[in-house]
Amino acid sequence: MTTLVGKKAPHFEADALVNGQFEDNFSLEKYIGEKYVVFYFYPLDFTFVCPTEIIAFQRRLAEFEALNTAVVGCSVDSKHTHWAWLNTPQKAGGIEGVHYPLVADVNKTIAMNYGVLAGHYDYDDAGNQIWIGDNGNDAVAYRGLFLIDKEGLVRHCVINDLPLGRSIDEALRMVKALQFNEENGEVCPADWNEGKDGLVDTHDGIASYLGSH
């Protein structure tokens, strides 16, 4: 199994729902040179853990925007299913009020290219290779999250199994850590948070940091 960290984020063009409107040929490349991107996958619309994450990102969206960071979600649902869910009140299990882009990965190629499509290859009765979702269900995406810098490089990723919701605080922390490193040239030690010291990436620098903490 390989990782995308340090590599160019896989290219795609797909339908998306952006601020309640359909957008054709949506691509993350629109942000290159302009913004950082938190690109995350969730399994399915009209489920239970997923809206807690999607709405949580919306509630913290201003914090990401203050860091010049776009938030983009993606699942294997169609743009029409995204639209129906967006037009369902939150009290009824919907995600009404979400403005950031939700990508429609109907063909599941985006999740496959990002390494988060749950399941495995097998063969049908005719000998054709097919992808089988976990437990024989239709394939959906794990809860993958990718931090992409302004050059289009993946700098951080985390992949959770389907029952395990993500931490929005951790996503924000990683954006801040990346920007701290870029701006100061210092690296971020364990449990680094905004306002804490970084350290110089040398043996002397590490020894000095450990001696003062």
Q: Are residues 139 and 154 in the same domain?
A: yes
Is 6 among the domain residues? no
Choosing from 128, 149, 164, the residue where a domain stops is: 164
Contacts of 141 (CB under 8 A, 6+ apart): 41, 42, 43, 74, 75, 76, 105, 108, 111, 116, 117, 118
Q: Are residues 109 and 35 in the same domain?
A: yes
The C-alpha angle with vertex 129 and arms to 159 and 42, in degrees rounded to 5, equals 25
- Over range 181-201, report the average pLDDT: 90
What local confidence, expressed as pLDDT, does residue 176 receive? 97
Q: Are residues 49 and 95 in the same domain?
A: yes
Q: Are residues 144 and 211 in the same domain?
A: no
User: DSSP of 45-73, one letter per residue?
Assistant: SS-SHHHHHHHHHHHTHHHHHHTTEEEEE
45-79, pLDDT tens digit by residue?
Answer: 999 999 999 999 999 999 999 999 999 999 999 99
Q: Is the pLDDT of residue 24 over 60?
A: yes
Q: Are residues 75 and 178 in the same domain?
A: no
Residues above pLDDT 90, as percent of the chain: 79
What CATH number did the domain enclosing 38 receive?
3.40.30.10
Q: Are residues 21 and 120 in the same domain?
A: yes
Is 97 among the domain residues? yes
Is 87 among the domain residues? yes
Tokens of 177: 């850590």
Q: How confident is the model at residue 23 (pLDDT cuts 50, 70, 90)?
A: very high
Residues above pLDDT 70, as percent of the chain: 87
Q: Are residues 60 and 138 in the same domain?
A: yes
What local confidence, expressed as pLDDT, does residue 152 receive? 98
What local confidence, expressed as pLDDT, does residue 197 receive? 87
Q: Are residues 198 and 146 in the same domain?
A: no
What sign for the dihedral angle of Cα 103, 106, 111, 116?
A: positive
72-130, pLDDT tens digit by residue?
Answer: 999 999 999 999 999 999 999 999 999 999 999 999 999 999 999 987 666 667 777 56
Q: Are residues 180 and 129 in the same domain?
A: no
In DSSP terms, which residues pair with 162 in a beta bridge? Answer: none
Q: How many domains does the chain have?
A: 2
Is 53 among the domain residues? yes
Calpha distance 197→209 (Å, rounded): 9
- pTM of the complete model: 0.89
Q: Any idea which residues carry the catalytic annotation? A: 50
Is 7 among the domain residues? no
Q: Are residues 42 and 113 in the same domain?
A: yes
Domain that holds residue 194: 167-213
Q: How confident is the model at residue 212 (pLDDT cuts 50, 70, 90)?
A: low
Calpha distance 115→141 (Å, rounded): 9
Dihedral, 117, 82, 74, 144 alpha carbons, nearest 10: -60
Q: Are residues 18 and 68 in the same domain?
A: yes
What local confidence, expressed as pLDDT, does residue 137 receive? 55
